């Protein structure tokens, strides 16, 4: 014998019970979205990098508000339990978010290397133009000498026509 069909009033009650059961989860997701929007407005986070996370959180809020949709969609995709479907989707989304982060990090690393090489070439050109020697060992590049290394002018040979010679760097503790 077939079970009696439930009425529309009972179905509405089930939906409201499910919402009441998951409203805390939906509220927590809404707080996270609000915090992320606040970071976006204060320009602490770029929209490009946070858009995927905002869409992900929107999907989680929809799942929390309408859990029956998740259950139906999971059954359509072949999952017997809605929790298995939910976790499979979450793992897939987290993998995609991580992949996006790795791509962004790789781009930043390549850009940092290119900028460092460009800075080194510019410092070399500046050293050639100004006639100043390039001091090695400094992480920043050309730095003014300190007490440990002094710059002294070299003496000119008699054959030069009075042009000033470029200063040379003396080793620490020695006199040039």
Confidence of residue 88 (pLDDT cuts 50, 70, 90): very high
The closest alpha carbon to 85, from 61, 62, 69, belongs to: 69
- Compute the average pLDDT of residues 27-44: 88
Calpha distance 152→136 (Å, rounded)? 17
The strand pairing partners of 168, in sequence order, are 152
- CB contact at 8 A, 52 and 36: no
* Long-range contacts (CB closer than 8 Å, 24 or more residues apart) made by 167-171: 167/132, 167/133, 168/133, 169/133, 169/135, 169/145
Neighbours of 61 (CB within 10 A): 19
Q: How much is the pLDDT for 10?
A: 46
Q: Model's pTM, two decimal places?
A: 0.53
Higher pLDDT, 70 or 174: 70
The closest alpha carbon to 121, from 106, 134, 108, 111, belongs to: 134
């Amino acid at each position: 014998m077939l079970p009696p069909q439930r009425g529309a009033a009972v179905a509405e009650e089930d939906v409201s019970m499910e919402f009441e059961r998951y409203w805390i989860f939906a509220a927590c997701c809404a707080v996270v979205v609000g915090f992320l929007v606040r970071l976006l407005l204060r320009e602490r986070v770029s929209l490009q990098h946070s858009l995927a996370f905002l869409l992900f959180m929107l999907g989680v809020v929809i799942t929390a508000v309408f859990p029956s949709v998740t259950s139906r969609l999971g059954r359509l995709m072949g999952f017997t339990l809605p929790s298995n479907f939910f976790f499979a989707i979450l793992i897939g989304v987290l993998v995609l978010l991580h992949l996006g982060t790795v791509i962004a990090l790789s781009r930043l690393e390549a850009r940092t290397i290119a900028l460092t090489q460009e800075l080194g070439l510019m410092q070399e050109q500046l050293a050639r133009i100004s006639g100043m020697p390039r001091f090695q060992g400094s992480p920043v590049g050309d730095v003014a000498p300190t007490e440990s290394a002094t710059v002294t002018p070299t003496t000119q040979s008699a054959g030069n026509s009075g042009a000033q010679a470029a200063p040379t760097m003396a080793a620490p503790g020695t006199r040039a």
